[in-house]
């Protein structure tokens, strides 16, 4: 760790900051505001981002610059998302090193962060959004990725990190709007509109809406998405802002679980082949999300906010998929399937008090908050018959049908939490961050099929501690310790049986040291080294199928990133991660030494945009992922791959523009993600997307 800190310090000499600052400031918008600190550092105040360069993060809950946060945070700005022509969250996260996309059984967002797989660590405006579905970005201003254990701010889970989407909100200052239409070479297309309208001097409304149809290289794949998000904002006085929003998502698409394996690798030569049925491989979800937020300044240095959210999601999906590897002797593939339903109602309320000030010459940014949540879930499952089919470019499918209910479970989750954190400035060059969260987590469940009922209550303390050294205002070196937990009924809490009710929660402990440097007001560099320990991991016994509470895992790595405007006409977002993870205790499911699933040792992602003239620009993106294992069995390997993307931008006028995005420019054959050893996604071949945009 000492050697790593020395390397970080040496890196501060690589770029002549004053010269770059002069070049960058020459390209700052004319309406930007400026400020200067006593050291002469110029600070551009343009909101939450300047192009690809993030300034702050909604999820940290305090008005703290990213350079002062002892944690790795990656922010994808709206401008970068637009330049990449991205409409879905999963596609955006491909450009965040350290985030590995999971297949999610073809019906949900699923990621691995620092070696920890999750379907639940997703948030919308800082509030939990954990239902299993695909998330659109049509109404999102930016995406924040907070890495490491995050229980103090978010509660259970978040062992490897969390993903927070920040919504677009009304602007009381002016009428503005935009529309976007795009179509790709597979025939997929998307329509989106964004309208902001002041209604009075104190009230404004904003409406975002989209309609999208899906298509790709896979046989029989299709789908569509409808999204509508009206929002109102009220400012009855200078000190108060009230926001009300409603979000409706309606998603319908083919459930596709990719190809099986052959000889410890993904099956090749069948990238288009669909191992399912059109009639049964279907996922539908309707999500309703209502939010309310009140922000109020009690004094110049004292404020509070109150947030509330209600969500109702109704989801049903069916799968027929490969249940084993290709049998080379008979040239056949075994298939199985199931259908699952999920209806969830969630309430969450949160209140935060933030005070900035000093006591005895020592500065403080104090956060105190409480949160209460109530989540009811009804889960059902029906299994299908099994079959074996001959391997062919287009599978001849036998009859499949879903049988009687095998699961009909209702779970109730109640949480009550309180947390406090203080960012203490002992001197201009030294800050301490310390805090703790208490969670009471109650879960009860009952399966109507067998009448089995169980319940459990856990009370957990989650501490956080960090030290920040600041040799210069725009530079910091930090070290931090955080702890998080996850109850043993899985991250979705769709069922609780008698065995799960006896198991203590999983625990995550994250140690991290790093450096942050705002090279210029529009360009930020970060570097970090981390070690993440996970205890009480649960593996299923391969003989009994029952969970065993004896797993210990460790992940460690180094993360580097550079984001912002390198030159007046060149913006970049670049990141690299070196990581490894393994099981450190033996069970019959996973002996010590097994490598963690879907954790490539090397990950690299870079996206850049260069404006040749005021009207014409070009973009180039590269993502690389070294080989990894599909599951903890370590029996099947996902090969390494490198994908190249490109773009051309043309501004026809101040109001109209057109852009061309080409994905997989070199037509690389690759396998980006998996769910099991025999459900492996195939990457799309070269394809192009044309977008036409209008704004006023």
Tell me what pLDDT residue 55 has.
Answer: 67
| Cα angle: 300, vertex 309, 489; to 5 degrees | 120
Mean pLDDT of 40-57: 54
Mean pLDDT of 452-471: 94
The distance in angstroms from the start CA to the end CA of the chain is: 52
How many angstroms separate the CA atoms of 147 and 142, rounded? 16
Among candidate residues 501, 500, 527, the one with its CA nearest the CA of residue 516: 527
The pLDDT tens digits of the residues spanning 289-304 come to 999 999 999 999 999 9
How many angstroms separate the CA atoms of 289 and 361, rounded? 45
Residue 149 has pLDDT above 70, yes or no: yes
Question: In sequence order, what DSSP letters do the residues of 439-506 get, joined into one string?
Answer: EEEEEEEEETTT--EEEEEEEEEEEEEEEEEEEETTEEEEEEEEEEEE-TTTTT-----TTGGGSPPE
Mean pLDDT of 439-444: 94
Residue 360 has which token pair?
């005895």
How many angstroms separate the CA atoms of 503 and 489, rounded? 9
- Going by C-beta distance under 8 Å and a sequence separation of 6 or more, which residues neighbour residue 237? none
Tell me what pLDDT residue 504 has.
Answer: 83
Residue 376 has which token pair?
């009811």
Residue 102 has which token pair?
């999971």
Tell me what pLDDT residue 607 has.
Answer: 97
Tell me what pLDDT residue 629 has.
Answer: 96
How many angstroms separate the CA atoms of 468 and 618, rounded? 38
Q: How many CB atoms lie within 10 A of CB 547?
A: 21
CA atoms within a 13 Å half-sphere pointing along the CA-CB vector of 474: 23
**What is residue 4's three-state secondary structure?**
helix
**Per-residue confidence band for 100, with pLDDT thresholds at 50, 70 and 90:** very high
Range from 24-38, 106-120, 249-263, 665-679 carrying the lowest mean pLDDT: 24-38
Residue 286 has which token pair?
């309707």
Tell me what pLDDT residue 53 has.
Answer: 79
Q: Which residues pair with 624 in a beta bridge?
A: 604, 642
**What is residue 83's three-state secondary structure?**
helix
The pLDDT tens digits of the residues spanning 322-380 come to 999 999 999 999 999 999 999 999 999 999 999 999 999 999 999 999 999 999 999 99
Tell me what pLDDT residue 573 has.
Answer: 95
The pLDDT tens digits of the residues spanning 596-641 come to 999 999 999 999 999 999 999 999 999 999 999 999 899 999 999 9
Tell me what pLDDT residue 548 has.
Answer: 61
> Are the C-beta atoms of residues 506 and 96 closer than 8 Å to each other?
no
**Per-residue confidence band for 158, with pLDDT thresholds at 50, 70 and 90:** confident
The pLDDT tens digits of the residues spanning 3-23 come to 433 433 333 333 333 333 333
> Are the C-beta atoms of residues 556 and 525 closer than 8 Å to each other?
no
Residue 483 has which token pair?
């702890």
Phi, psi of 200, deg, nearest 5: -145, -175
Residue 277 has pLDDT above 50, yes or no: yes
Tell me what pLDDT residue 22 has.
Answer: 33
Tell me what pLDDT residue 553 has.
Answer: 93
Mean pLDDT of 380-400: 96
Range from 25-39, 253-267, 649-663 carrying the lowest mean pLDDT: 25-39
> Are the C-beta atoms of residues 102 and 134 closer than 8 Å to each other?
no
Tell me what pLDDT residue 17 has.
Answer: 33
Based on the number of CB atoms within 10 Å of its own CB, is 86 exposed (0-12), middle (13-18) or buried (19 or more)? buried
**Per-residue confidence band for 557, with pLDDT thresholds at 50, 70 and 90:** very high
Residue 213 has pLDDT above 60, yes or no: yes
Tell me what pLDDT residue 59 has.
Answer: 83
Residue 30 has pLDDT above 80, yes or no: no
How many angstroms separate the CA atoms of 255 and 273, rounded? 13
**What is residue 92's three-state secondary structure?**
helix
How many angstroms separate the CA atoms of 336 and 382, rounded? 12
Q: What share of the chain is helix, strand, coil (3-state, %, to 5)?
A: 5, 60, 35
Q: Residue count of the chain, please give it.
A: 696
Run of H or E including 9: helix 2-11
The pLDDT tens digits of the residues spanning 629-680 come to 999 899 999 999 999 999 999 999 999 999 999 999 999 999 999 999 999 9
How many angstroms separate the CA atoms of 16 and 12, rounded? 9
> Are the C-beta atoms of residues 182 and 190 closer than 8 Å to each other?
yes
How many angstroms separate the CA atoms of 213 and 253, rounded? 9
How many angstroms separate the CA atoms of 418 and 211, rounded? 40
Residue 635 has which token pair?
């029996």
CA separation (Å) from 226 to 247, 248, 329? 11, 8, 46
Tell me what pLDDT residue 544 has.
Answer: 52
DSSP tag of 149: -
Owner of token pair 């070009």 = 618
Owner of token pair 């970060």 = 526
CA separation (Å) from 9 to 14, 226, 238, 520? 10, 49, 44, 17
Residue 375 has which token pair?
């989540």
Q: Which residues pair with 535 in a beta bridge?
A: 507, 552
Reported in sequence order, the residue ranges of 107-157 that DSSP labels E, i.e. its strands, are 111-113, 116-118, 122-124, 127-128, 140-147
Tell me what pLDDT residue 121 has.
Answer: 94
The pLDDT tens digits of the residues spanning 510-537 come to 999 999 999 999 999 999 999 999 998 7
| Cα angle: 124, vertex 580, 604; to 5 degrees | 65
Tell me what pLDDT residue 540 has.
Answer: 57
**Per-residue confidence band for 49, with pLDDT thresholds at 50, 70 and 90:** low
- The structural architecture, per CATH, of the domain 2-695 is Beta Barrel (2.40)
How many angstroms separate the CA atoms of 574 and 74, rounded? 11
- Strand 161-167 relative to strand 122-124, pairing: parallel
Please give the share of the chain, as a percent, with pLDDT higher than 90: 81
> Are the C-beta atoms of residues 527 and 517 closer than 8 Å to each other?
no
pTM for the structure as a whole: 0.90
Residue 683 has pLDDT above 90, yes or no: yes
Among candidate residues 576, 605, 619, 657, the one with its CA nearest the CA of residue 51: 619
């Amino acid at each position: 760790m000492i050697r790593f800190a020395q390397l970080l310090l040496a890196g501060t000499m690589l770029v002549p900051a004053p010269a770059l600052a002069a070049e960058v400031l020459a390209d700052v918008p004319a309406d930007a505001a400026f400020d200067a600190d006593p050291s002469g550092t110029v600070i551009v105040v343009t909101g939450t981002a300047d192009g690809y360069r993030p300034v702050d993060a909604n999820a940290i809950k305090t008005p703290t610059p990213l350079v002062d946060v002892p944690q790795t945070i990656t922010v994808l700005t709206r401008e970068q998302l637009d330049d990449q022509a991205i409409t879905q969250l999963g596609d955006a996260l491909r450009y965040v090193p350290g985030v590995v996309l999971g297949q999610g059984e073809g019906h949900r967002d699923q990621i691995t962060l620092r070696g920890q797989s999750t379907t639940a660590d997703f948030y919308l405006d800082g509030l939990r959004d954990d239902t299993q579905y695909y998330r659109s970005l049509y109404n999102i201003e930016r995406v924040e990725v907070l890495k490491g254990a995050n229980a103090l701010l978010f509660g259970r889970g978040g062992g490897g990190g969390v993903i927070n989407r920040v919504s677009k909100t009304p602007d009381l200052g002016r009428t503005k709007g935009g529309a976007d239409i795009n179509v790709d070479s597979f025939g997929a297309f998307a329509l989106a509109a964004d309208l902001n309208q002041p209604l009075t001097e104190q009230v404004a409304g904003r409406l975002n809406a989209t309609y999208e149809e899906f298509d790709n290289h896979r046989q029989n794949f299709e789908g569509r998405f409808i999204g509508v998000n009206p929002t109102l904002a009220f400012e009855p006085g200078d000190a108060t802002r009230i926001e009300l929003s409603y979000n409706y998502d309606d998603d319908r698409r083919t459930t596709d679980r990719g190809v099986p394996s052959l000889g410890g690798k993904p099956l090749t030569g069948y990238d288009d082949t669909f191992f399912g049925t059109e009639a049964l491989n279907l996922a539908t979800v309707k999500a309703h999300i209502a939010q309310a937020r009140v922000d109020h300044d009690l004094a110049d240095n004292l404020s509070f906010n109150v947030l509330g959210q209600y969500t109702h999601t109704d989801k049903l999906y069916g799968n027929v998929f490969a249940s084993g590897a290709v049998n080379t002797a008979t040239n056949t593939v075994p298939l199985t399937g199931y259908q699952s339903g999920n209806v969830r109602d969630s309430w969450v309320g949160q209140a935060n008090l933030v005070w900035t000030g000093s006591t005895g010459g020592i500065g403080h940014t104090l956060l105190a908050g409480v949160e209460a949540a109530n989540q009811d879930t009804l889960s059902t499952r029906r299994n299908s018959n099994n079959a074996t089919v001959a391997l062919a470019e287009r599978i001849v499918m036998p009859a499949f049908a879903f049988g009687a209910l095998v699961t009909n479970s209702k779970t109730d989750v109640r949480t009550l939490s309180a947390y406090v954190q203080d960012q203490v400035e002992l001197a201009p060059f030294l800050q301490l961050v310390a805090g703790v969260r208490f969670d009471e987590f109650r879960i009860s469940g009952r399966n109507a099929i067998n009448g089995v009922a169980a319940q459990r209550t856990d009370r957990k303390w989650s501490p956080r501690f960090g030290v920040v050294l600041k040799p210069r205002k725009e530079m910091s070196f930090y070290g931090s310790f955080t702890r998080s937990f996850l109850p043993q009924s899985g991250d979705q809490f769709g069922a609780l049986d008698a065995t799960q009710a006896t198991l203590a929660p999983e625990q995550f402990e994250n140690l991290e040291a790093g450096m942050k440097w705002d090279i210029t007001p529009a360009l930020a560099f970060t570097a970090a080294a981390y070690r993440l320990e996970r205890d009480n991991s649960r593996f299923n016994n391969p003989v009994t199928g029952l969970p065993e509470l004896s797993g210990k895992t460790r992940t460690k790595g180094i993360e580097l990133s550079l984001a912002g405007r390198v030159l007046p006409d060149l913006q970049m977002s670049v990141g690299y991660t070196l990581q490894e993870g393994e099981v450190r205790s033996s069970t019959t499911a996973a002996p010590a030494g097994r490598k963690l699933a879907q954790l490539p040792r090397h990950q690299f992602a870079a996206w850049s945009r260069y404006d040749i003239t005021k009207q014409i620009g070009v973009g180039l993106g590269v993502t690389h992922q070294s080989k990894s294992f599909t599951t903890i069995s370590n029996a099947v390997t996902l090969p390494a791959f490198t994908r190249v993307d490109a773009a051309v931008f043309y501004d026809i006028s101040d109001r109209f523009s057109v852009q061309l995005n080409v994905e997989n420019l070199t037509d690389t054959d690759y396998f980006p993600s998996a769910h099991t050893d025999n459900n492996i996604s195939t990457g799309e071949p070269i394809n192009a997307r044309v977008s036409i945009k209008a704004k006023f």
